[in-house]
Homo-oligomer: A and B are copies of this chain.
């Protein structure tokens, strides 16, 4: 888990960047052969773009960098359990391993509501490691939503 935590700390730094611009703090990095080739954070509100999730951004960037839609030898680190769109993009890009932090009981599709990454009916399955720095990854989100509720109340 030691190395996974190192990369997840970078994903958490991305989540903090999201927080600083008022976005739900979720971050991701994509590691290829022990090197970060893409890092991104949620920008849905800033960009007014439904696709602007951290995972999609790193997958798009990594395909460009590697010149291939197949992200072999890659590991995707993300602070929150992926939604169906992002889990689907992980399947489409053939990412071999995903490491995530906190669970998303409301929309997570990699263990919570279902597991799209371990469904033998699809032509790809992805290895999943969950719970990496789960507390930090979860705390940054709950603190964000607590502040948001307090702000709305005032």
Binding site for B on A (CB under 8 A): 44-45, 47-53, 56, 59-60, 63-64, 67-71, 83-89, 91-94, 106-107, 109, 113-114, 116, 119, 121-123
Contacts and interface: CB of A to CB of B under 8 A. Distances in A.
Contacts of A49: 60, 63-64, 69
9 contacts: A50-B59, A84-B88, A84-B122, A85-B87, A85-B92, A88-B88, A88-B109, A107-B123, A113-B122
B83 A88 contact: yes
B88 A69 contact: no
B88 A85 contact: yes
Contacts of A64: 49
